[in-house]
């Protein structure tokens, strides 16, 4: 089976996320410029959901999620890096569905 294309189905409560890389420098709330090379301890990451298992209840494909990048499993699919994690490892979901939320927007 050379170069066979196989569909990926995530199992149970697994979520596959592609990390959204923030390019370049950013600004703090007070206007201080933080260079891209600055090391920040224990910073959470945003990513986009590309796949969900059949027991995932709160996120859908296309949602943006907040998670800890450090303790996740990385997998490469067709040259792209993705993270696979349990749904319970997600800290927040940013989606256009407005069922409930914090009142904060991205």
Task: Say what the pTM is.
Answer: 0.69
The C-alpha atoms of residue 13 and residue 44 are separated, in whole angstroms, by 21
pLDDT at 41: 62
Residue entry with tokens 């959204």: 20
> What percentage of residues in the chain have a pLDDT greater than 70?
70
pLDDT digits (tens, 9 = 90+) for 16-45: 999 876 655 666 677 777 776 666 667 788
Query: Can you spell out the DSSP letters for 24-74?
Result: S-EE-TTS-EE-TT---TT--EEEEEEEE-TT--S--TT-EEEE-STT-EE
Full set of structural domains in the chain with CATH: 14-19+40-94 (2.30.33.40)
Residue ranges in the chain whose pLDDT is less than 70: 1-4, 21-28, 36-41, 97-106
pLDDT at 53: 92
């Amino acid at each position: 089976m050379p170069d066979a294309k196989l569909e990926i189905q995530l199992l149970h409560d697994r979520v596959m996320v592609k990390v959204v890389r923030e390019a370049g420098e950013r600004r703090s709330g007070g206007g201080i410029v933080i260079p891209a090379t600055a090391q920040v301890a224990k910073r959470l990451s945003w990513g986009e959901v590309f796949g969900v298992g059949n027991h995932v209840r709160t996120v859908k494909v296309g949602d943006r999620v907040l998670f800890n990048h450090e303790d996740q499993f990385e997998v490469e699919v067709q040259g792209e890096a993705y993270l696979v994690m349990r749904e319970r490892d997600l800290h927040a979901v940013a989606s256009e569905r407005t069922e409930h939320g914090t009142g904060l927007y991205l």
